[in-house]
Structure 1
Amino acid sequence: MSEKENKIEYPRMWGFRIIGEDKEKMRQAVKECINNQECNVEDNKSHGKYHSQKFEAYVTSEEERNEFFKRLQEHKDIKFVL
């Protein structure tokens, strides 16, 4: 594939999946990490003490997308980000 075919167009909605232990704390963490954007965080799966949630955020650039990902990874209430 050429570089042009792999280029992601911005702005756009970008999907994230997070894993953690407390659903409500995870929802609050999402708001904090994506600059209080409105988004719908959906519960996905639960396995034992861990819960998975997914949501989409509006990103204007690859840098912003990466910054949101980094903030989510570093948040104390989120264990994993996909």
Structure 2
Amino acid sequence: MKKKIEYPRMWGYTIIGEDKEKMKNAVKECIDNQECEVKDSKSHGKYHSQKFEAYVTSEEERNEFFKRLQQHKDIKFVL
């Protein structure tokens, strides 16, 4: 049985890329300029990971943000 997620809520994302500042700017673009704090997580070689939470009002919006992040040129992976 699939667990029901209640909306609206904060949703956490992890992104991976090569340039920390470009990644932070990409987040603002992809989540409609919401205010959020992007925190550096780990660095391995040329790749960096960052975590942040965004306010989502529905599963559709949550999935749309994920899709935009995945397609952004400055983000390599989204978790």
Give me the CA root mean square deviation: 0.6
The runs of 4+ residues in structure 1 deviating greater than 3 Å are none
> What is the CA-CA distance between 1:42 and the residue it aligns to?
0.1
Identity of aligned residues (%): 85
- 5+ residue gaps, structure 2: none
Q: Name the count of aligned residue pairs.
A: 79
Where do 5+ consecutive residues of structure 1 fail to align? Answer: none
Q: TM-score, normalised by structure 2?
A: 0.98
Q: TM-score, normalised by structure 1?
A: 0.95
**Superimposed CA distance per residue, residues 2-45 of structure 1 (whole angstroms, 9 cap, x where no aligned partner):** 44xx0000000000000000000000000000000000000000
For the pair shown, the structure with the greater C-alpha radius of gyration is 1
1:62 aligned residue: 59
